[in-house]
Amino acid sequence: MRSGPVWISRRDSAASQVLLRPLLRVVNWLRIALCVHALLVNALRWHEATHRGLLVAAMIWMVTWTALAAIAYARPASRRQAFIVADLVVACALMGLSGPILGTSVFATDYLALPVYWAVCAPLVVAMAYGVVPGAVAGAVVGGILIVVTPSWEPALWSWVVVFGLLGAGIGVLVDLLLASVGERDRAFAETASLAERERLNRIVHDGVLQVLALVEREGPGLGARGVRLASLAREQESRLRVLLLDRNPLEAPVSDQVDITSVLDRHESSTVTVSAMAERVMVSSREALEIDAVVTEILANVAKHAGPTARAWVLLEHEGRELIISLRDNGVGAKPEDITKAGERGHIGVRDSVLGRIRDLGGQAVVRAAPGRGVDWELRIPVQ
Amino acid sequence: MTEPEGPRVMLVDDHPVWIEAMSGDLEAAGFRIVATASTGDEALRRARATRPDVMVMDLQIPDPDGATCTEILLREFPDMHVLVISASGERDDVLRAIKAGAKGYLVKSATPDELLEGVRRTADGDAVFTPGLAGLVLGEFRRMVTDAAKHNDEGPILTTRETEVLRRVAKGMAYREIADELFVSHRTVQNHVQNVLRKLQLHNRVELTLYAIEQGYSGEAH
């Protein structure tokens, strides 16, 4: 017989141990209470018993086994298959001795077995350790011993089989369900952990690539015209990789209704756009995030189109009280303010609707400052919760 | 025997090519590279041995990371000037290094000239403020004020002028442009920026002390 830990593979996880320990403690208390109950019942029928000496011996053995089981099931090292089997054998033996020790006159009046309900504890442990079917079988066997020893079809007799069998099955089902949910939770934890680990490894790998790209960017211009071309390619790839690294697009498949607006804005970072924000995350509803993203996209597209080839842009996110302040500034050729806000001939179509309209829908305000030769400076104020 | 001129610089970066490239540029500009290191452990050991004036610290280095090294070293040598550089700047790490007392922060895609200028300014004890850093610091002051308000307390507050300057730095304006727009001198702008950093670092030290005291008290109680 296998003498390793009894909790066979599917019950080996640390979580199942955590779950089973308190259950076994409950069974131990149940065993003690039922032992006291059996002692009382047998004390009351003491004078009618056939073999009083054997009855005393059986009761002493029951008390001793109760103590042994309490110790054995409390320590993981002694929770072994051998002990569970021994537990079952003791229960069966005490049940089987009911007729001979008590005598037919006493036993046949109510068919209350020698250990009374104490004997159900062993099948309960089997149900916890092995599940529903072994639990039901163990219960039926312990209850069925009475029929084997006293062949009779009295309902009071075979009811033991039914009740013990059903108890074993019921506890087995409950423990199986509990373990399944614990296993599910463990799996979810493990998945999250492995995802985080993969992201960490990605970061390390990509960090190396970023470093080399940045180096090419830096050293390229010193190598003449081809080097300059190399450097600009490296710069482009570096910004692309950086955006890729900034997690997956938080707007594509929002996990919840809330989105971190800093990571939404970070995706606009490029070789010509610098994004500055606070260190902590700022959660807004995904609807607000989508709108804000569209506005920023529109303004930056306008910079790319109209500010000139060497223009750079800066995005600043601030969170003041219940307001988000997003500033977008470029150092391009600039424009007259009215050219920007009035949908215009100069091509600033879209600004009026997509910027001013959207910000107004969000309950916010947009202010634009611009002058020819001095870039364009937007300030968007959006109320948030 | 005469000591060669120029500030003594230590470079910390886990990519040897970067160390090579940076030390070449810095030596050509008159700096002395007194030590290099590629891990946190090396950085701590060699910085203690050589006591450089300026430390150029990459944040992404193997244990302990650059921000932690900055914290440890500036606690031991408050006079050391640390310039933080990073390839994929995690805002948390940058903020941690700055609060610990680093003078400034540059991204690795900065040009060699920007890097030289950054090291030079760091050596002089000036702050090296990039737009990204200004945004971080603005956010951090807002957070501290909100936090303090929760405890019916008064946090470290930026003056209106300091906020104005910082916001303009974060929006990519050069000190000279800011000075023109606010009708102040270039030096005044620089002083404001410097003050902001000092305030942040001072507050950080106060917070750490308070934290240590609280921990001490609860430690006794148990």
Domain boundary among A189, A204, A222: A189
Does residue A179 share a domain with residue A292?
no
Query: pLDDT band for position B113 (50/70/90)?
Result: confident
Residue B78 gets which letter from DSSP? T
In order of A131, B73, B200, the CA distances from B207 in angstroms are 55, 18, 10
- pLDDT above 80: residue B128: yes
Q: Could you tell me if residue A240 is inside a domain? A: no
Q: Which CATH class is domain B8-128?
A: alpha beta
Give residue A237's identity as a one-letter amino acid code.
Q
- pLDDT above 60: residue A12: no
Query: pLDDT band for position A341 (50/70/90)?
Result: low
Q: Which of A219, A238, A275 sits opposite B109 (nearest CB)?
A: A238
Q: Which of B88, B91, B167 sits opposite A279 (nearest CB)?
A: B91
Number of domains in chain A: 2
Does residue A282 share a domain with residue A143?
no
Cβ distance B142 to A319 less than 8 Å, yes or no, reads: yes
- Least confident stretch, A64-73, A112-121, A227-236, B117-126: A227-236
- B94 contacts on A by Cβ (under 8 Å): 279
Q: Which of A218, A271, A274 sits opposite B111 (nearest CB)?
A: A218
Domain boundary among A172, A189, A206: A189
Does residue A272 share a domain with residue A182?
no
Query: pLDDT band for position B125 (50/70/90)?
Result: confident
Beta strands (DSSP E) in chain A are: 258-260, 273-276, 283-285, 313-320, 323-330, 365-370, 376-383
Q: Could you tell me if residue A151 is inside a domain? A: yes
In order of A35, A111, B31, the CA distances from A159 in angstroms are 21, 10, 95
- pLDDT above 90: residue A119: yes
pLDDT given for residue A10 in this prediction: 44
Signed CA dihedral, B166, B169, B175, B179: sign only: negative
- Least confident stretch, A150-159, A160-169, B70-79: A150-159
Cβ distance B142 to A278 less than 8 Å, yes or no, reads: yes
Phi, psi for A141 (deg, rounded to 5):
-65, -50
pLDDT given for residue A345 in this prediction: 47
Give residue B86's identity as a one-letter amino acid code.
S
Cβ distance B92 to A279 less than 8 Å, yes or no, reads: yes
- Least confident stretch, A32-36, A357-361, B160-164: A357-361
Query: B107 has which bridge partners?
Result: B86
C-alpha Rg value of chain A to the nearest Å: 39
**Mean per-residue pLDDT of chain A:** 83
- pLDDT above 50: residue A105: yes
The per-residue DSSP string of A272-331 comes to SEEEE--SS--EEEHHHHHHHHHHHHHHHHHHHHHS-TT--EEEEEEEETTEEEEEEEE-
Among A153-162, A337-346, B47-56, top mean pLDDT goes to: B47-56
Q: What is the mean pLDDT of residues A359-379?
A: 87
Question: B88, B133, B150, B200: best mutation site toward chain A, by most A Cβ within 10 Å?
Answer: B88
Which residue has better confidence, A177 or A350?
A177
Does residue A143 share a domain with residue A20?
yes
Q: Could you tell me if residue A3 is inside a domain? A: no
In order of A120, A355, B12, B43, the CA distances from B62 in angstroms are 60, 45, 11, 10
Q: Structure pTM?
A: 0.61
Does residue A145 share a domain with residue A13?
yes
Q: What is the mean pLDDT of residues B121-135?
A: 88
Does residue A120 share a domain with residue A49?
yes
Distance CA B64, CA A383 (A): 41
Domain boundary among A171, A189, A207: A189
pLDDT given for residue A251 in this prediction: 60
- A203 contacts on B by Cβ (under 8 Å): 88
The CATH number of the domain where A377 resides is what?
3.30.565.10
Distance CA A47, CA A65 (A): 25
In order of A277, A284, A372, the CA distances from A298 in angstroms are 20, 20, 20
Q: What is the mean pLDDT of residues B176-191?
A: 91
Range of the domain at A298: 249-383
Q: Could you tell me if residue A212 is inside a domain? A: no
What digits encode the pLDDT tens for the residues B86-103? 876 678 888 888 888 898
Does residue A290 share a domain with residue A182?
no
The C-alpha angle B82, B87, B93, rounded to 5 degrees, equals: 55
- Least confident stretch, A261-265, A344-348, B137-141: A344-348
CB–CB of A242/B88 below 8 Å?
yes
Q: Could you tell me if residue A224 is inside a domain? A: no
Does residue A180 share a domain with residue A34?
yes
Q: Could you tell me if residue A57 is inside a domain? A: yes
Q: What is the mean pLDDT of residues A153-165?
A: 89
A323 touches chain B (CB under 8 A): no
Does residue A131 share a domain with residue A51?
yes
pLDDT given for residue A61 in this prediction: 95
Domain boundaries, chain B: 8-128, 133-221
Fold of B133-221: Arc Repressor Mutant, subunit A (1.10.10)
pLDDT given for residue A124 in this prediction: 94
In order of A235, A276, A308, B122, the CA distances from B110 in angstroms are 11, 16, 22, 15
Q: What is the mean pLDDT of residues A306-315?
A: 88
Q: Which of A207, A318, A329 sits opposite B139 (nearest CB)?
A: A318
Q: What is the mean pLDDT of residues A96-111?
A: 84
Which residue has better confidence, A5 or B166?
B166
Phi, psi for A26 (deg, rounded to 5):
-60, -45
Does residue A157 share a domain with residue A14?
yes
Q: Tell me, what's the ipTM? A: 0.85
- pLDDT above 50: residue A203: yes
- Least confident stretch, A184-193, B37-46, B162-171, B198-207: A184-193
B176 touches chain A (CB under 8 A): no
- pLDDT above 60: residue B14: yes
